[in-house]
A and B are shown apart, each in its own frame.
Chain A
Amino acid sequence: MTGKIERSLEELYGDDPERAEALAFGRKTGTSRRGFLEGAGLAAFGAAVGGTVPFAANMPSGLIPSALAQTPPATPAPAPAAPAPALEKKGPQLLNFPGKDGRLVVIGERPLVAETPESLLNDDTTPIDKFFIRNNGQIPETTTEPDKWKITIDGEVNKQLVLTLGEIKSKFKPVTRRMILECGGNGRSFFSPRASGNQWTNGGASAAEWTGVRLADVLKSAGLKPSAVFSGHYGADPHLSGDPKRQALSRGVPLKKLMNENNLIVWAMNDKPLPLIHGFPVRLVIPGWPGSVSSKWLTRIWVRDREHDGQGMGQTSYRVAINPIVPGSKPDFKNFKDLESMPVRSIISNPANGTKHAAGTRGLNLRGAAWAGDYTVRQVDVSIDYGATWQRMNVSKPKNPYDWQRWTGAVKLPSDGYFEIWTRATDSRGVMQPHVAGNWNPQGYGGNPMHRVAVLVG
């Protein structure tokens, strides 16, 4: 569906990037995504997407239209000393993995990381084949005896426990909850200047039905000492280097979050055993916070008397600035705190970005999802004129805490041409999604600007 538009721009750049740049942006050099459209550039952009651009006057400066942002020219900016060689230009790499939808986009193979394009998050419950993939280490060997898998609960507990998954299943009451899991770096690619790490758009999030037992029930059976203040979680995934002494990832949460009744020790996903890639045979699901606290292949929960210091804790890992810093500047680690609740976010799951509609189409039915970490979504608004006017959408109630909320609605279009649909959610505290990713931090957490899709009518 996006093919037509993307190809035409790709071709435009492929033939002669400098000329294309000058045509599309009305300037000579540089390949910034932050181009400013005006005059001839706007006309050329209209020509490039094959339509007129209604509401062009509202198109914000510092942002380029969605259709162009989809296909940034892949040539890196020239360095002062000598021009950098061109990067090979190609489309997104699609995932080829057993049991997974081939339209997921690979962000990296080692470790394996793949995101789900927003338009594939159109199901109320994300099917396993469409669920995003995030690994920090290697994928561990599978087990043929899942019920004998051992989990240790130790540290600041009255009674250290080593429970098999079989014992966990039989001793505690199972519950099933539809909850969203979201990578802490979701939205990272929207930061400027670019933040370090996997360049997620909005696709590091999915919602599954998780079956397991309450983490709090298991921890209570071990009995927490008064000294217990934090947790440290461990999984069986080997470090990328293969060094057995190193942890791929070991993060944790403070006691208040740890004992939340929605946290589960999970063995089933959408009524099926967890796939290996999602943590078989057993994982944590600690919803609302960066997904990295929800360890896959769970082997140990260390209850600690201080903030956990495992791999992925401290400095600027999963951390945001306390006092806002100049984007790109050197971080003072003392000015950073853990990202806790994920920020409010909404996506348009239908139509897909780059969809073409027949000439004369004057209305579109929209569908999407919204979520807000520890909070709920109060409302979702949509604009077809770059934020000049907004329309309220219908937002469903969550099935249970930490479920995402699906939304639907319709917009009228005044004419044929190029339109962008922008969505903005507001959480239960009244906090909205911003136009841009703000509060820049070196590793790019908390980026939640409005999602936008481009459609072409006629």
Chain B
Amino acid sequence: MAWMNGRTASAVRLLFLFVLAALVAGAIGVAAAQAPQFTPRDEEPEQFPDAPGREETFYTCTACHNFTLVAQQGMSRERWDRTLDLMNERHGMPKLEGKDRAIVLDYLARVFAEQAPAERGWQNPFLKN
């Protein structure tokens, strides 16, 4: 900026700083207009019913999603078994086999079991329980 005298140069510098500040403020403005990224609350195994396999099941599932999603379900052991297959085949969960699988399945099928069928009234003759 040799073509400017000192005074003009500092005025230009000041203007540059103003523009920069405005740009930054604008950027912040856009960012501030958007909600901050949501941070899910921490979940602990202890929030869920205590039974053998709770910890193993909790940490298997929460590698991806919250355990509340699991706790919403109510399925037979057979359907939980198929769900583990689905999580492996469709969602990249490491394959659970042998004893590890049995521990997780025992917990899920016991704690998040299919609801008992109605004892009175109309009953589906095809449901095996």
Contacts and interface: CB of A to CB of B under 8 A. Distances in A.
B122 interface: yes
A241 B117 contact: no
B118 A35 contact: yes
Contacts of A110: 40, 62, 65-66
Given A85-B51, A326-B126, A77 B65 contact: no
B75 A196 contact: yes
Interface residues of A, number: 63
A239 B76 CA distance: 28
B27 A277 contact: no
A194 interface: yes
Contacts of A199: 72
Interface string A408-443: 000000000000000000000000000000000010
B77 to A, nearest CB: 9
B116 A79 contact: no
Contacts of A142: 30-31, 34, 37
B25 to A, nearest CB: 11
Interface of B is mostly: loop
Contacts of A34: 115, 117-118, 121
A36 B120 CA distance: 6
B110 A277 contact: no
Interface SS, A side: loop
Given A34-B118, A77-B115, A328-B76, A108 B49 contact: no
A425 to B, nearest CB: 25
Interface string A64-88: 0000000000001111011011111
B65 A111 contact: yes
Contact of B38 (A27, A97, A327): A97
Interface string B93-129: 0000000000000000111111111111110101100
Given A84-B111, A194-B114, 11 more contacts: A32-B119, A61-B122, A79-B113, A97-B35, A108-B66, A109-B40, A144-B26, A144-B30, A193-B75, A198-B69, A329-B126
Interface of B: 26-27, 30-31, 33-38, 40-41, 47-51, 62-66, 68-69, 71-76, 78-79, 82-83, 86, 90, 92, 109-122, 124, 126-127
12 contacts: A36-B120, A77-B116, A82-B110, A84-B110, A85-B49, A85-B50, A88-B47, A98-B35, A109-B38, A194-B114, A328-B127, A442-B82
Closest 7 A/B residue pairs (Cβ): A36-B121, A109-B40, A85-B49, A110-B66, A77-B116, A30-B116, A61-B121
